[in-house]
Copies of this chain bind each other. A is one copy, B any other.
Amino acid sequence: MAVIRVEFFSNCLIRQVAFEMFVPNDFRDDVPRQHEQYYKRKCKTVFVLHGFKGWGKGWTHMYELADKYNLALVFPSGENHFYLDTEDSAGKYGTFIGVELVDYIRRTFGLCSSRDDTYISGLSMGGFGALRTGFAYPDTFGKIAALSSALIMHEICGMKPGEFYQVGNYYYFRNCFGDLDKLLESDNNPETLIKKNIKQGKNIPEIFMACGTDDFLLAHNKRFYDFLITHNVKAEYIEDNGGHDMEFWNKYFAKSFEWMA
């Protein structure tokens, strides 16, 4: 497994940024399976979005999954910005993931050249990011896997200075999501994007969602799944024992990669 770290200039963030990749293309002579696998079928690419407090580093557990399912994994840094374009001219985190980074990986590595081999996944804030980015660029991503997703649009809309919600204050969410009074109608709300996709006859990416029954975000995930059902959008939705922790994510990244591959 090759571990690749790239530093490049992002026009969306107007500075040098770094991301990491796991790419299963260094064939060990002592593991003959790797050669066969590579030449039999091209690997698919999954963009993996971390949660709040996290950053763009591959989790070791995924190292083995990348090998097992022949997946190239890309780990960008979202810097606690919910993977959204902000009003700040130097903070286009949404376009960074959905356009600039995909283009760069495509041009540099010859990976993720079509919708059929370009997937996106994430956990918590990154689960939100995977859903929103997938719906914002439905022609780019073929599949979305969203774990324990921070689908908190309804909780933070209308938030005021002086208020705090779970991980941040008003200014934090204002900075990430823009005008919080207009959040639900904006493209920062995945529900709005779903409706637009339907209206425009877009091919919505396939969806895999999972959430632990002890997760404080369980209700948020259930609500979003109900929204999908109501709008006749198919999704694999799983509730299972577990909390908002690596134990649950290790289990469900494995399941979601199996679903993708």
Contacts and interface: CB of A to CB of B under 8 A. Distances in A.
Contacts of A25: 8, 104, 107-108
A62 to B, nearest CB: 10
Contact of A53 (B14, B57, B168): B14
A67 B218 CA distance: 29
Contacts of A10: 26
A3 to B, nearest CB: 4
Query: How many chain copies does the complex carry?
Result: 4
Interface in A33-53: 52-53
A256 B167 CA distance: 37
A200 interface: no
Contacts of A60: 59-61
A144 B111 CA distance: 31
A155 interface: no
A54 B6 CA distance: 15
Given A23-B108, A79-B15, A79-B79, A168 B88 contact: yes
Given A15-B53, A89-B164, A108 B9 contact: no
Interface stretch (A169-177, A225-233, A234-242): A169-177
A28 interface: yes
A9 B23 contact: no
A50 B172 CA distance: 24
A53 B53 CA distance: 23
A27 B8 CA distance: 9
Contacts of A1: 9
B8 A5 contact: no
A88 B14 contact: no
Contacts of A9: 1-2, 26, 28, 53
A201 interface: no
A188 interface: no
Given A5-B5, A87-B171, A14 B80 contact: yes
A98 B87 CA distance: 28
Contact of A172 (B4, B88, B168): B88
B171 A88 contact: yes
Nearest to A55: B16
A169 B14 CA distance: 13
Interface in A57-115: 57, 59-61, 79-80, 86-91, 104, 107-110
